[in-house]
């Protein structure tokens, strides 16, 4: 028997959880929320330093790229959350919205209603920020945003080196000054627990009688009759099921799954679909295109003394910290291990920061250890650097008409010379910070990329051999007004009635920060678009977007 709901949401990730929460505020509206993964009750999902749970195959889709043509044909892993909360359940929990100009640029591209003044109210509605309610932050939203405790994380030496080099200093990357070196924020609550989209938005409303949550439910096809969506096919517990949507089907599966489901349903590039045996019902050439991602890399410097977080990973200390976290929600395990969050420009003439640097108080592969047992780990400080305003664009397409086949994905990283040059400059900038006291006095030697990697040509080759991504992909169902746009500014799929896409895939360009907070903002704004309401714009004073 086909069940019927007013709205069917595909994907219980960062945006899907928000939309389910907001739509069911109206008791007269029924919502079915489908999630292909399972529930988010594992212990490590809650732990701030447990984000390495993304390595577990059951928690993510285990996507990877095709051989990347500009990276020596390497395949890049692309973990995406396959669990309630989506990637917000397995991510690093760093809270970063991006720059105001990112959103103003969307408006300039024809996305009316998506400028910074339009989206700021939705960022604020989503959060309870540790700073309290104010011009730039909310104080009563579902998402808990906490300050990273930097007291044991080699924070001050990094900050002092930045001051000596003349970088801007900010105590809030989302306040008056959106660039510079400062402390970071994290999506954890006051007890040191992860504040995922599932825990923030679903947990408080699970008992609503008008909300049905189905896990292990894999969507396979959108049903369309006479140009209008009528429902959805999905598989659950090995059984094929169909659900009817009286009002809308809302895709919130993310940057890879939402375009995949569109194409499986005949909505996408017509010639490509025909080539794999799918009869197109709506020719939308932009589906799967415009893929944008933050390319990044790690650097590591060995320290003269054992001053890094590795000390806290000694087995006995770790056990005590775990107990302290479980009982009191305090200690090193209750917060992210990030010494400093920096947003800077690779060239002074740029309008906004194009680099994001995370200074970390430990090596990238740090792991628990026992005194006198096994190989000794060298104490190192590390930096994760990424290019947040990339020009390179990739694509994704179906491998076959089988819904279980993973899509073909190419990020096409470092295909644009501008991206290569900015990344090379960033390596030199990171080195300059480490060569400046008081940070320099703590360092023994550079480990990665290593002293032998000198000069632009050598750095470029090292980047092509080692480049990674920071899992901030967007753009495959881009919002806009041109022929390549997939959804309009109301997030309605062009050419099909009763169908919207509401997740990171609609972002026409990638914001200059982590994408979890912007995805939650998209969910908040999408819910209002669906309900036919909106929050008033919040204008901010001139010059907010620049540190110059």
**Sign of the C-alpha dihedral, residues 115, 116, 120, 123?**
positive
Structure tokens at 273: 């679909």
d(CA 313, CA 309): 7
Cis preceding-peptide flag for 181 (omega within 30 of 0): no
Q: Catalytic annotation on 472?
A: yes
Cross-strand bridge partners of residue 78: 63
d(CA 187, CA 523): 17
Judge whether 83 is annotated as a binding position: yes
Cross-strand bridge partners of residue 239: 236
Query: Is there a contact between 354 and 388 (Cβ–Cβ < 8 Å)?
Result: yes
Q: Which of 155, 301, 341, 472 is labelled catalytic? A: 472
d(CA 127, CA 142): 6
DSSP secondary structure letters along 362-392: S-TT---BBTTBSPPPPPEEEEEEEESS---
For residue 259, the tally of other CB atoms under 10 A from its CB is: 32
Element housing 424 (H / E): helix 417-434
DSSP state of 259: H
DSSP secondary structure letters along 103-158: HHHHHHTT-TT-SHHHHHHHHHHHEEETT-SSSS--BS-SEEEEE---TTTTHHHH
Structure tokens at 149: 């405790």
d(CA 268, CA 279): 10
Rounded (to 5) percent helix, strand, coil in the chain: 30, 25, 45
Binding residues for FAD: 83
Catalytic residues: 472
């Amino acid at each position: 028997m086909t069940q019927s709901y007013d709205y069917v949401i595909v994907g219980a990730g960062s945006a899907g959880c928000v939309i389910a929460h907001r739509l069911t505020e109206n008791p007269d509206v029924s919502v079915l929320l489908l999630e292909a993964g399972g529930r988010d009750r594992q212990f490590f999902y809650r732990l701030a330093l447990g984000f390495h749970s993304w390595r577990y195959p059951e928690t993510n889709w285990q996507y990877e790229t095709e051989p990347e043509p500009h990276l020596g044909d390497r395949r890049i892993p692309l973990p995406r959350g396959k669990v309630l909360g989506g990637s917000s359940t397995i991510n690093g929990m760093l809270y970063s919205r991006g720059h105001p100009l990112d959103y103003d640029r969307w408006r300039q591209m024809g996305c009316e209603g998506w400028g910074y003044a339009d989206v700021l109210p939705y960022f604020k509605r989503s959060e309870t920020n540790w700073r309290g309610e104010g011009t730039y932050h909310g104080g009563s939203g579902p998402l808990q945003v906490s300050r990273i405790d930097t007291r044991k994380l080699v924070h001050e030496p990094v900050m002092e080196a930045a001051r000596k080099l003349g970088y801007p200093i900010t105590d809030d990357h989302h306040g008056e000054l959106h660039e510079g070196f400062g402390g970071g924020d994290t999506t954890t609550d006051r007890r040191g627990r992860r504040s995922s989209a599932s825990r923030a938005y679903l947990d408080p409303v699970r008992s609503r009688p008008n909300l049905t949550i189905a896990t292990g439910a894999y969507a396979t096809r959108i049903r369309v009759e006479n140009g209008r969506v009528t429902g959805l096919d999905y598989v659950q517990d090995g059984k094929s099921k169909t659900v009817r949507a009286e009002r809308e089907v809302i895709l919130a599966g993310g940057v890879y799954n939402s375009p995949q489901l569109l194409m499986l349903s005949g909505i996408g590039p017509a010639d490509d679909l025909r080539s794999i045996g799918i009869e197109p019902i709506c020719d939308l050439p932009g589906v799967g295109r415009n893929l944008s991602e933050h390319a990044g890399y790690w650097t590591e410097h060995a320290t003269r003394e054992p001053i890094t977080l590795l000390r806290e990973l000694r087995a006995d200390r770790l056990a005590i910290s775990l107990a302290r976290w479980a009982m009191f929600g305090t200690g090193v395990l209750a917060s992210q291990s990030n010494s400093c969050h920096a947003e800077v420009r690779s060239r002074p003439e740029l309008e906004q920061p194009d680099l994001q640097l995370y200074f970390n108080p430990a090596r990238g592969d740090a792991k628990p250890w026992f005194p006198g047992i096994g190989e000794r780990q060298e104490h190192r400080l590390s930096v994760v650097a990424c290019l947040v305003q990339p020009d390179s664009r990739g694509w994704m397409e179906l491998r076959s008409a089988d819904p279980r086949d993973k899509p073909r994905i190419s990020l096409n990283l470092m295909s644009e010379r501008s991206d290569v040059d900015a990344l090379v400059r960033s390596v030199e900038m990171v080195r300059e910070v480490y060569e400046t006291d008081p940070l320099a006095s703590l360092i023994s030697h550079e480990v990665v990329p290593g002293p032998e990697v000198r000069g632009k040509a050598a750095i470029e080759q090292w980047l092509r051999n080692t480049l990674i991504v920071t899992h901030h992909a967007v753009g495959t169902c881009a919002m806009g007004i041109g022929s390549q746009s997939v959804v309009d500014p109301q997030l309605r799929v062009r050419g099909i009635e009763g169908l919207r896409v509401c997740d990171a895939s609609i972002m026409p360009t990638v914001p200059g920060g982590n994408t979890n907070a912007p995805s939650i903002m998209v969910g908040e704004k999408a819910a209002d678009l669906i309900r036919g309401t909106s929050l008033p714009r919040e204008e901010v004073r001139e010059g907010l977007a620049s540190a110059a």
